[in-house]
Structure 1
Amino acid sequence: MKPQNQTQAERLAELELLANETGLLDELKMRQRVEIDKRRMELAAKLDALPNPERELATLAKEAARVHAAREKAAAEDREADRLDKETTGRLVMATMMKAGERQHILTELERAAPPELEDALDDLSLADNLLRSAFRVDEVAGRNWLGQRVKKVTSNLDGISSARKQIADAQQSIRELARDGRTPSVAMVSRCAEIVEAALQLAFEFIPVKLWDLRRSKPLSDIVAEVTGYAE
């Protein structure tokens, strides 16, 4: 039996000796190495799982270059499209102006070649329109209603004159279109023009006395205007 007063160092030495004799120390060291190797493998796996910074940066740089190139290409295409748009629009404007000018030139020639009766008709319609503007009036009539109260009634010929002027404007447009018709014979144009004027003046003669109108070429215009302004008074 071992003495009880054995020191701790002596006891540890005996345990180590016992472990060496039985092979337990080698087994313990082996287990420790296995645990350490296992931990190293875990750390290596974690390291492999981390993204490669150089590879990631290279991928990002490649993507940035691709996007930049695509943007530059799109910008160049946009500039080219804008240039083509302006160029095409300019050609369209020039062609339109040339065609419009050519058309207007032909129309002007047709109007100049139309029978003079058409121009006289336009002058007459313009005069009638001026006289209608002068014939506008507003009347205020005092009276009493059925209760005996004094009332004032305001009347105006504005609606009728507006309708008459609308007919004259339509007739003027019809005559201008007739003057631009190069396929209608002159005799037929004059006849059609007279019909247009006659129809257009029907409403106007409700405000312009026919007898006064017949004197338009022999009486001063100022006198005619003065009489129309005071008509029915």
Structure 2
Amino acid sequence: MKQQNNPLPERLAALELLVNDTGLVDELKARQRAEADKRRAALAAELKALPNRERELAALAKDAAHEHAALEKAATQYREAERRDKEATARAVIAALTDEGARQAILTKLERSAPPELADALDDLSFADGLLRNAVRTDETANRSWTGVQVKAVTSNIDAIGAARAQLAEAQGAIRELARDGLMPSEAMVTRCAEIVAAAMEPAFAFIPRKLWDLRHDKPASDIVAEVRGYVQ
């Protein structure tokens, strides 16, 4: 005779009844409670074994509070020192600017009260420098002057022109310093100025015709430049 298979829910219900009848569920629950109690007891023992560090923790907290207060005090002192440093620097800068302003004002007055011959000398030196810069320039590679016209004899004049211009610049500085000398008589100042100009112009006359230079106040600058071009070529 073939055995009849009961549906799954019915089989599960029957199995539950069997377990209840044998007391296995209660035994399993009891074992689980025992294991839980065992773990809780172990945790309680571990908690009890921990040292009581209340005093140590309080001391550490006190030290931390002390260090924090010291840090705040140091930060305040630093900010105060930084403020004083900025104020002192500002006072020094203002004092220096005030002194320099007063000095420059006096120097300006001295320059303006100097003999007019000094201002004329500065103009002449500046004009000579312009001639050297714009009118006397020879390209050795192309054998042409700065105007593009081919020249017969090409000389290495770039270094000489640079040296002449440097001497003109030094003379300009010397005349400005001369104008600031409030103790030198005007006549002596004019004489010294003429000496400075004469010495500074000597190298420039290697490129600027003296004859043309002597006529510079009677001719427009463009005419002088044009004539210097022709002279160089």
TM over 0.5: yes
Other-structure match for 1:168: 168
Tell me the number of residue pairs that the alignment of Structure 1 and Structure 2 aligns.
175
Other-structure match for 2:182: 182
Measured in 2, the distance between the counterparts of 1:82 and 1:158 equals 55
| Structure 1 residue runs without a partner (length 5+) | 1-46, 143-152
Q: Aligned runs of 1:63-82 on 2, under 5 Å?
A: 63-82=63-82
Determine if the alignment matches structure 1 residue 136 to structure 2 residue 127: no
The structure where strand makes up a greater share of residues is: 1
Other-structure match for 1:214: 214
**C-alpha root-mean-square deviation of aligned residues, in Å?**
2.0
1:117-166 per-residue CA deviation (whole Å, 9 max, x = no partner) reads 11111011011001111212214359xxxxxxxxxx97542111100000
Superposition deviation, residue 51 in structure 1? 6.6
Query: Which of the two has higher C-alpha Rg?
Result: 1
Superposition deviation, residue 66 in structure 1? 1.3
Q: Any conservation in 1 of the 2:122–2:172 contact (CA below 8 Å)?
A: yes
Other-structure match for 1:121: 121
Determine if the alignment matches structure 1 residue 158 to structure 2 residue 158: yes
Measured in 2, the distance between the counterparts of 1:52 and 1:229 equals 104
Q: Any conservation in 2 of the 1:141–1:154 contact (CA below 8 Å)?
A: yes
Q: Give the AA of the match of 1:194.
A: A
TM-score, length-scaled by structure 2: 0.70
Measured in 2, the distance between the counterparts of 1:157 and 1:92 equals 50
Superposition deviation, residue 90 in structure 1? 1.5
Other-structure match for 2:232: 232
Q: Any conservation in 2 of the 1:138–1:157 contact (CA below 8 Å)?
A: no
Measured in 2, the distance between the counterparts of 1:130 and 1:165 equals 9
TM-score, length-scaled by structure 1: 0.70
Q: Any conservation in 2 of the 1:125–1:168 contact (CA below 8 Å)?
A: yes
Other-structure match for 2:99: 99
Matched-pair identity in %:
64
1:51–1:104 Cα change, 3 Å: farther
Measured in 2, the distance between the counterparts of 1:201 and 1:154 equals 23
Q: Give the AA of the match of 2:180.
A: R
Superposition deviation, residue 79 in structure 1? 0.6
Measured in 1, the distance between the counterparts of 2:53 and 2:231 equals 102
Other-structure match for 1:39: none
